[in-house]
Structure 1
Amino acid sequence: MRLDATLKERAKSMRSNLTPAEQKLWLALRANRFENRQFTRQAIIAPYIVDLASKAARLILEIDGDTHSAEDRYDTRRTEFLESLGYRVIRFSNPDVMGNMEGVLSVIAQALRDAPSPQGRRGL
């Protein structure tokens, strides 16, 4: 599937401009550092760009700032769509990531334990 050039360019720009919370979580997850799982930042799962994703584990991590409180309906539709593709979506607030990284990583570790085995999936 060819990705829309505008979507690709936007994801690339977002990767260069991570929020402090996104950057902090990314540093804990990047380069298979966490649970030996690969995560991608600002991953495209068309038509959306998600904050962090482990496609093999079918896990999406969203870090919600203050602007998300006004976007509840949009976030709900977006989450339902991503879940319809077989992803589990976990949302953390900026204060969660900035002030309770141990708790955030614990939740992610449990989600990865519950995720399907990457060896059992094809085409990923």
Structure 2
Amino acid sequence: MDENLLAAYRAAAYRVRLRQGGWATIRIDAPLPTALVAVAGERPWGFITAWNPHSQVRSSGWNRKVQHRLLITLRDLPSTQRVCAGVGTGMGWKEPSLFVIGPDTASLDTVARNFEQNAYVHGYRDGIALLRLL
């Protein structure tokens, strides 16, 4: 993977919309924020998008369609407990994303590959947020 792209993934802020309002921000190699620990509980979690497959910019209309398909796909996984709105932000970019609780990495790997993503963020319970490269 291109080192600049990898650095952009690592520097990004992965924000999750909270039910009570506001946002919690996930950072790679940092513990899951306390507000999200309460949501994830003892389950695995992931932060994933369908926007801009293989980090190639697509139109907003196209991205919205595939993001909706991703939401349906995640909800249909038997292990999914909850899906929350999110957004990944970096230097000059912003991508709507989803914080999903329940699916393990094998399931999320399959979903990410099907939506042609290079990587996603994941973790388990209150552990460290990890960047998973595909």
TM bracket (short chain): 0.3 to 0.5
In the superposition, the TM-score normalised over structure 1's length comes to 0.33
Greater RCO, CA 8 A, separation 6+: 2
More helix by share: 1
